[in-house]
């Protein structure tokens, strides 16, 4: 997902006004930090007993992505994407209980 978004980045960057470019740069930085944090925790999740923490962090990615969709401000499409992502929140709760260690 991150690489797919990065591939579209130069096209999106060129068409944005300066304030939106800063917002896009901040969103990219936030996602990079998030992925780095999850990767760091995943290295030691089994040894430290923090396996559930990874699931919570991955679940927390949905509201973050919904917020970034709204921040993109693409009209009805951004609202629809955010609504779909937030509608998946209960599904991820069920999946995290069903497949705890996967």
Task: Enumerate residues 6+ apart whose C-beta is below 8 A from 52.
Answer: 100
Is pTM beyond 0.75? Reply is: no
Report the distance separating Cα 52 and Cα 59, nearest Å: 11
- pLDDT value of residue 67: 83
Residue 48, phi then psi, degrees to nearest 5: -95, -5
In the prediction, which pLDDT does 23 show? 75
How does pLDDT run across 12-47, given as a tens digit for each residue?
Answer: 666 667 777 777 778 778 878 878 877 777 777 667
């Amino acid at each position: 997902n991150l690489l797919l978004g990065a591939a579209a980045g130069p096209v999106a960057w060129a068409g944005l006004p300066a304030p939106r470019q800063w917002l896009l740069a901040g969103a990219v930085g936030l996602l990079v930090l998030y992925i780095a944090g999850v990767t760091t925790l995943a290295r030691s999740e089994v040894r430290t007993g923090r396996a559930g923490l990874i699931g919570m962090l991955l679940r927390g990615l949905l509201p973050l992505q919904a917020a970034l969709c709204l921040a993109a401000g693409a009209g009805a499409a951004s609202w629809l994407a955010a609504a779909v992502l937030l509608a998946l929140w209960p599904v991820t709760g069920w999946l995290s209980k069903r497949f705890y260690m996967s």
